[in-house]
Amino acid sequence: MEVRRSLTAQLEWIENRPSKGFRPLDLRTLWRYRELALFLAMRDVKVRYKQAIFGAGWAVLQPLASAAVFTVVFDRLAGMPSDGVPYPLFAYVGMTVWTYFAGAVTKSTQTLVQNAPLVSKVYFPRLIAPIAAVLPGILDLVVALALLVVLIPIYGGFGGWAVLTTPLWLVSLMAAALGVGLWLGALNVTYRDVNHGVTLLVQLWLFVSPVAYPSSQVPDAWRVVYFLNPAAGPIEGFRWALLGTPWPGSVVWVSIASTAVILAGGVLYFLRMERRFADVI
């Protein structure tokens, strides 16, 4: 009789229901699933370069080609200033940083829908998916920036000791991409129009970011508003650190503060919507 009761207890139906109320960020759980984040990131890297003739060379080719076009259009034709450094270097660094940001935002927006079978059938902290989506692009960013070892001796310009601040701008860039990706990724689960709109958003965002032109061209009255753009600070920061362009001023911290607000709000919104992902995806 006791054995039968034990078997009945083991076979008792258990229903998993979404939690209610505010859900705090559980960093310990995220850390336990760090290997899953690395696995998803490495999977994306392998898929990207599988059977690719040029391999990681594409990470250099895209910003290099864009910088060449910008040099012809904005430097040769429009006479755009470049904060005292050769325009090809100016455009190359800006486009390299922007390429990472745009790619990370797009990938983190799409990652939940692309991994729908995993999200709907397997438990893991859903934050792992967008976090993993912003990691692969770091490899491309590092490879592309490594070309500066060749370009700087040719064109001139170096940031000196400021190069030591590069990790700060990298973290800020990743945080900005992740924050925006969390908002858009959570919305994309419910509204698939977001997946189509993110391409247009990224294209327009390029022109309100200091990629092809320096932020010094923005009127003083608008600089604080301009640097609410979370991408503006890291782009100008990378140029200052690597090329020695003038320090853009305290408005850089406006961009970093904006990033912090967007990331914190994105995490809270993502955690609030997370309980519905498996039902609506």
Q: Which two tokens stand for residue 232?
A: 């503006």
**For residue 222, is it within any domain?**
yes
106 domain residue, yes or no: yes
pLDDT reading at 62 higher than 50: yes
Q: What pLDDT sits at residue 14?
A: 45
What pLDDT sits at residue 47?
Answer: 79
Q: Are 69 and 62 in contact (CB under 8 A)?
A: no
- Residue 224: inside a domain: yes
Predicted model pTM: 0.88
Q: What are phi and psi of 19, to 5 degrees?
A: -70, 160
Is 230 among the domain residues?
yes
Task: Report the distance separating Cα 170 and Cα 93, nearest Å.
Answer: 13
List Cα–Cα distances, 244 to 162, 172, 174, 184, 195, in angstroms.
Answer: 8, 19, 22, 34, 38
Q: Identify the pLDDT of residue 69.
A: 93
What pLDDT, on the 0 to 100 scale, is given for residue 275? 81
Handedness of CA 158, 161, 162, 168 (dihedral sign): positive
176 burial (CB, 10 Å; 0-12 / 13-18 / 19+) is buried
- When divided into structural domains, the chain yields a total of 1
pLDDT at 156: 80
Q: Looking at per-residue confidence, does 152 or 230 come out higher?
A: 230
- Residue 16 inside a domain? The answer is no
Most confident of 17-26, 59-68, 212-221: 212-221
d(CA 233, CA 35): 31
Q: What is the pLDDT of residues 69-127, one digit of tens each?
A: 999 999 888 889 899 899 999 999 999 999 999 999 999 999 988 888 888 888 888 89
Show the tokens assigned to 161. 């000791």
User: How do residues 133-168 score in pLDDT, each as one tens digit?
Assistant: 999 999 999 999 999 988 888 888 787 889 999 999
Q: What are 193's two structure tokens? A: 């129009």
CA separation for the pair 205, 62 (Å, rounded)? 18
Residue 223 has pLDDT above 70, yes or no: yes
| Spatial contact of 64 and 147, defined as CB atoms under 8 Å apart | yes
- What does the alpha-carbon distance between residue 20 and residue 18 come to, in Å, rounded to a whole number? 7
pLDDT band with cut points at 50, 70 and 90 for residue 170: very high
CB neighbours of 244 closer than 8 A, spacing ≥ 6?
85, 157, 158, 159, 160, 162
Q: Cα(165)–Cα(108) distance, rounded to whole angstroms?
A: 26
CA dihedral 82, 88, 94, 96 (to 10 degrees): -170
Highest mean pLDDT among 4-8, 15-19, 175-179, 198-202: 175-179
Q: Could you tell me which of 6, 21, 3 has the C-alpha nearest to residue 275?
A: 21
Portion of the chain with pLDDT greater than 90, in percent:
57
Give the burial class of 20: count Cβ atoms within 10 A of its Cβ; 0-12 exposed, 13-18 middle, 19 or more buried: exposed
The answer as to whether 193 is a domain residue is yes
pLDDT higher at 61 or 175: 175
Summary mean pLDDT of the chain: 87
Residue 15 lies in a domain: no
Question: 244 in a domain, yes or no?
Answer: yes
Residue with tokens 């406006």: 254
**Gyration radius of the chain over CA positions:** 22
Residue 25 has pLDDT above 70, yes or no: yes
Average pLDDT on 233-248 reads 94
Domain that holds residue 140: 54-280
- Tell me the DSSP string of 234-245: HHHHHHHHHH-P
